[in-house]
């Protein structure tokens, strides 16, 4: 069974902390994505990567960075967490030009 695994289901961090959200896929997918999900706003793309060490900004990259040192792992980094980054974070992966994505089950991050 193919999988996208997010390291934490729930996370609570303090304002100003550096936060790492990890995502690992076992499908050899080239593309990986980080989305943020908020009520009434749907899913908004933060960053995506189409190859190792390659990344592109999505619609809301401010306050975030990413790292992809290995094909299977895509990390989202909150350099200095703020309360407005409290949200659900979803990771996904796909092959190029293939329909749809495979999603992880999300990390609900609370910044206090």
Q: How far apart are CA 26 and CA 7, in angstroms?
A: 14
67 or 102: CB nearest another protein: 102
Least distance between another protein and beta carbon 106 (Å): 4
Q: How far apart are CA 73 and CA 57, in angstroms?
A: 17
Binding status of residue 25 toward another protein by CB under 8 A: no
Tokens (6 digits) for 74? 């895509």
Binding status of residue 10 toward another protein by CB under 8 A: no
Least distance between another protein and beta carbon 33 (Å): 7
Q: How far apart are CA 90 and CA 93, in angstroms?
A: 10
Binding status of residue 8 toward another protein by CB under 8 A: no
Q: How far apart are CA 65 and CA 77, in angstroms?
A: 5
Interface ranges with another protein (CB under 8 A): 31, 33, 35, 40-45, 48, 50, 58, 88, 90, 92, 94, 96-97, 99-101, 103, 105-106
């Amino acid at each position: 069974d193919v999988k996208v695994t997010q390291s934490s289901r729930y996370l609570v961090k303090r304002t100003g902390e550096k936060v790492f959200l990890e995502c690992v896929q076992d499908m050899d997918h080239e593309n990986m994505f980080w989305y943020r999900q908020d009520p009434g706003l749907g899913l908004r793309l933060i960053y995506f990567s189409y190859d190792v060490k390659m990344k592109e900004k999505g619609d809301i990259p401010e306050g975030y960075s990413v790292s992809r040192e290995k094909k299977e792992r895509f990390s989202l980094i909150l350099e200095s967490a703020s309360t407005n980054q409290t949200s659900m974070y979803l990771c996904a992966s796909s092959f190029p030009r293939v329909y749809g994505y495979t999603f992880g089950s999300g990390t609900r991050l609370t910044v206090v």
